[in-house]
């Protein structure tokens, strides 16, 4: 019989399903923190453009600073959503094939949404 003299912490370091849970936890919190000022800016922007005509709104959204902040808000929000959905899928789908399929769909969906949002912002900014 072999005795294990390691502490509980020593036994648990480096273990876990994906060996990267801490990274996801930290990234989820960082994107949430980044989303707060970005979404506050977005809400203020929406309040400012309520009641204005199409060309006025397009002129405001065509400002490069506004476009960059909107792009950051969308990308940060989509990345935050992707990490959150990944954690949910990994936790609640025990079947390996279903999990892999859903994780792939999650990444694909978030990539398509990010590309569509950036394309829309570029089109508005460049006046297309």
- Looking at CATH, the fold of the domain delimited by 23-125 is given as 3 helical TM bundles of succinate and fumarate reductases (1.20.1300)
Token pair in block for residue 15:
């273990």
Q: How do the domains of the chain map onto residue ranges?
A: 23-125
Convert the pLDDT of each residue in 16-36 to its tens digit: 555 566 888 888 999 999 999
Residue 63 has pLDDT above 70, yes or no: yes
Residue 127: pLDDT band with limits 50, 70, 90: confident
CA–CA separation, 46 and 70 (whole Å): 11
pLDDT tens-digit map of 73-107: 999 999 999 999 999 998 898 888 999 999 999 99
Quote the pTM value: 0.79
DSSP-derived letter for residue 95 is -
Q: Is 89 in contact with 106 (CB distance < 8 Å)? A: yes
């Amino acid at each position: 019989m072999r005795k294990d003299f390691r502490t509980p912490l020593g036994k648990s370091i480096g273990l876990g399903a994906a060996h990267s849970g801490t990274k996801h936890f930290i990234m989820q919190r960082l994107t949430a923190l980044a989303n707060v000022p970005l979404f506050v800016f977005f809400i203020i922007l929406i309040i400012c453009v309520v009641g204005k005509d199409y060309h006025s709104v397009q002129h405001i959204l065509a400002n490069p600073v506004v476009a960059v902040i909107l792009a950051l808000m969308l990308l940060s929000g989509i990345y935050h959503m992707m990490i959150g959905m990944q954690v949910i899928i990994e936790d609640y789908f025990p079947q390996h094939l279903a999990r892999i399929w859903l994780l792939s769909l999650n990444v694909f969906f978030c990539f398509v949404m990010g590309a569509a949002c950036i394309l829309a912002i570029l089109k508005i900014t460049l006046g297309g």
